[in-house]
Amino acid sequence: MSKLKIAVQKSGRLNEESLDLLKNCGISIDNGKDQLKAEARNFPMEVLYLRNGDIPQYLRDGVVDIAILGENTLIEKGSDLPIVERLGFSKCKVSIAVPKNAEYNSIKDLRGKKIATSYPNTVNQFFEKKGEKADIHVINGSVEIAPNIGLSHAIVDIVSSGSTLFKNNLKEVEVLFKSEAVLTSAPELTEEKQAILDKLLFRMKSVLKGKNSKYVLLNAPNDRLDKIVNLLPGMKSPTVLPLAQEGWSSVHSVINKNDFWEVIDELKANGAEGILVCPIEKMVL
């Protein structure tokens, strides 16, 4: 039987979150120390641990079938490869930063200025869309030090919390795009490998949907029931059960975690009581 070969980043935060996702999908991986390849015990899959920047070429060459990598890397080195699923972790921005004391009003202020980056393709495309030309100095590694040692006037790099920019006396002035971990695939997969990928996607979507949702149980007065139910669409519609106390019902539903506090405030304003909120491990739709 064929095995689906998946590439994940060799080390770091993206590696850990990728393996956590596979684990939550019920896939057990035999990981040895410093291993570059591992097999899943209970799923037709092999995991290859590779450098992030090398993964797009391995996908084109058919060395691996699918990969979890940062969207920033995909845009820079694999724009021809498809995004199969957005995974919602390892979020960051690709941004332009300049020294804190530098004046910046628009991209025009960087005319004739040298920009240090490890994303030359991304920067060139961004500047071309703005009708400008970038003077790029390609650096692999600690890009943020470049302005401090006189190597460049600005940088383009990934920004998560902004603490690294702050420590290096830089300020973010322009966001090129927002990035997150994505699942991508080789240009062509056999029918057998596509079937395995479809099974994996089903599991991933169940995990991601559960992670982004909350299960809510509450007590509602029957004279406000219609308003409360309208606030809780759930997967199809809320479950409503009569309570022992006359005039009251128990309402069970699912809400998106991003809307959580707004929905809770509206539920309370409409008379909901005894609101319980539980995490959801997985949602199979």
CA–CA distance, 88 with 205 (Å, rounded to integer): 11
Q: Determine phi and psi for 236, rounding to 5 degrees.
A: -130, -55
Q: Give residue 211's identity as a one-letter amino acid code.
A: K
Give residue-wise pLDDT tens across range 237-266.
899 999 999 999 999 999 988 888 999 999
**Along the chain (285 residues), what's the average pLDDT of each consecutive run of 10 residues?**
92 91 93 79 94 94 96 94 96 95 93 95 94 92 91 94 91 95 96 96 95 93 93 82 95 90 92 93 85
Q: Give residue 246's identity as a one-letter amino acid code.
A: E
CA–CA distance, 152 with 137 (Å, rounded to integer): 8
pLDDT confidence of residue 234: 67
pLDDT confidence of residue 141: 81
Cα torsion angle, 44, 49, 50, 56, sign: positive
CA–CA distance, 84 with 102 (Å, rounded to integer): 41
pLDDT confidence of residue 32: 60
Longest Cα separation, the chain:
76
pLDDT confidence of residue 177: 95
Looking at every residue in the chain, the average pLDDT score rounds to 93
Q: Are 89 and 169 in contact (CB under 8 A)?
A: no
pLDDT confidence of residue 161: 86
Q: Give residue 100's identity as a one-letter amino acid code.
A: K
SS (H, E, C) the chain: CCCEEEEEECCCHHHHHHHHHHHHCCCCECCCCCCCEEEECCCCEEEEEECHHHHHHHHHHCCCCEEEEEHHHHHHHCCCCCEEEECCCCCEEEEEEEECCCCCCCHHHHCCCEEEECCHHHHHHHHHHCCCCCEEEECCCCHHHCHHHCCCCEEEEEECCCHHHHHCCEEEEEEEEEECEEEEECCCCCHHHHHHHHHHHHHHHHHHHHHCEEEEEEEEEHHHHHHHHHCCCCCCCCEEEECCCCCEEEEEEEEEHHHHHHHHHHHHHCCCEEEEEEECCCCCC
DSSP bridge pairs for 185: 66
Q: Are 94 and 122 in contact (CB under 8 A)?
A: yes
CA–CA distance, 266 with 263 (Å, rounded to integer): 5
CA–CA distance, 113 with 123 (Å, rounded to integer): 13
* Lookup: tokens for 255: 């809400």
